[in-house]
Amino acid sequence: MGAVLGGMVLGSLSAGAGDPAAITFRYHDSEAPEMQAALDDFQAANPDVHVTMQRLGWGEAQAQYLREAAVGEAPDVVELVYVWTRPFAAAGALAPLDADIAKTGAKSKIGLKGWDDFIARDLAVGPDGKTYAIPFTTDTLAIFYNKDLLHLAGYERPPNSWAGLRQASLDVFKKTGKAGWAFAAGTCATPSIWFYLNSFWWSKGHALIDQDASGKYYMHITPQQIAEGFDYFNQYLRAGDNPKSMTSVCLLGPQEIVEGVAEGNIAIV
């Protein structure tokens, strides 16, 4: 989930009248020729701006931005993951938004329509109780299939249940030797496996944290239900249809999976 803090421009400088401005553009996705092509088009249309492109993986981005903020060299404009708000607010790298929110004039008690009903708003509150971010987008997970590999495994239509997904992944692996559902299963500061686990639990009516009618938060899941989720995803690793190499990958959209899909070695992502 992105937070309203901007794009990804690291800095802008002008050496003098008539000299080209120099900026650094940083992006976090996998390397792709389209990025360079887009930059070339921008450069051609804006010859008075010199752009240097850098790639910084999501796994290193938070620590890098915090280091830059600590020495007063944080980017002028940057897109931050919403759950990064608190450490950046604590580091003094963000400005509070409460006054700006109040100026919107909406009926909500803090001035932004719907904000009081947003379940994750607490993640944007800093140690001082002030609000430092507003999400401008959210992620909706979707599953993509390689039709050819599913066909070879005996499927003309993709599965529509957790059990069906499990069986299809296993059948692809057994009948084609290719990976079925390949997902990042590694451990890091922000492991993407939690996206899948939460989706699994939510679909069954569970939630790690829920809120009752009085506004009190509580755990809405049992240890057995938590274990059920981990057991479900462990099946893929134990059987091999999710390659063991995925235990060293922890982020969404890693190069290993992108290349595996492009090369026809992964059936489901």
**Axis-axis angle for helices 193-203, 223-239 (nearest 10):** 120
**Same structural domain for residues 118 and 169?**
no
**Same structural domain for residues 155 and 116?**
no
Looking at the domain assignment, is residue 130 inside a domain? no
**Same structural domain for residues 102 and 181?**
no
Distance CA 36, CA 236 (A): 36
**Same structural domain for residues 41 and 73?**
yes
Dihedral (CA of 259, 262, 264, 267) sign:
positive
Does residue 9 sit in helix, strand or coil? strand
| Tokens read off for 180 | 């079925």
Give Cα separations from 70 to 13, 65, 123, 250 (angstroms): 21, 9, 21, 27
Looking at the domain assignment, is residue 137 inside a domain? no
**Same structural domain for residues 244 and 181?**
yes
**Same structural domain for residues 42 and 92?**
yes
Give, for 209, the enclosing helix (H) or strand (E): strand 207-211
Encode 142-168 in three state secondary structure: CCCECHHHHHHCCCCCCCCCHHHHHHH
**Same structural domain for residues 169 and 61?**
no
Domain finish residue from 60, 89, 124: 124
Looking at the domain assignment, is residue 162 inside a domain? yes
- Return the pLDDT at 106: 53
- Return the pLDDT at 188: 77
User: 246 and 158 in contact (C-beta within 8 Å)?
Assistant: no
What's the predicted TM-score (pTM) here? 0.67
Domain with 220, as residue range(s), is 147-268
Looking at the domain assignment, is residue 247 inside a domain? yes
Distance CA 224, CA 161 (A): 21
**Same structural domain for residues 187 and 232?**
yes
**Same structural domain for residues 24 and 88?**
yes
- Return the pLDDT at 105: 63
Looking at the domain assignment, is residue 95 inside a domain? yes
Looking at the domain assignment, is residue 25 inside a domain? yes
Looking at the domain assignment, is residue 31 inside a domain? yes
Domain count, the chain: 2
Q: Where are the alpha helices (DSSP H) in the chain?
A: 33-45, 58-70, 85-90, 98-102, 147-152, 162-176, 193-203, 223-239, 255-262
Does residue 36 sit in helix, strand or coil? helix
Residues sharing a CB contact under 8 Å with residue 32, sequence separation 6 or more, in sequence order = none
- Return the pLDDT at 252: 77
Domain finish residue from 64, 89, 124: 124
**Same structural domain for residues 21 and 81?**
yes
Does residue 24 sit in helix, strand or coil? strand
Query: How does pLDDT run along the chain (269 residues), one tens digit per residue?
Result: 444 443 344 444 444 455 678 888 888 877 778 888 999 999 999 999 988 888 887 778 888 989 988 888 888 888 788 888 888 898 888 999 888 877 776 555 555 666 766 767 777 888 898 989 888 777 778 899 999 999 999 999 999 999 999 999 999 999 999 999 999 998 876 788 988 999 999 999 999 988 888 878 899 999 999 999 999 999 999 999 999 999 999 877 788 898 999 999 999 99
**Same structural domain for residues 212 and 257?**
yes
- Return the pLDDT at 16: 47
Domain finish residue from 86, 109, 124: 124
Looking at the domain assignment, is residue 140 inside a domain? no
**Same structural domain for residues 105 and 189?**
no
- Return the pLDDT at 174: 98
- Where residue 249 sits, what CATH number does that domain have? 3.40.190.10
Burial state string for 192-205 with b = 16 or more CB within 10 A and e = fewer than 16 = bbeebbeebbeeee
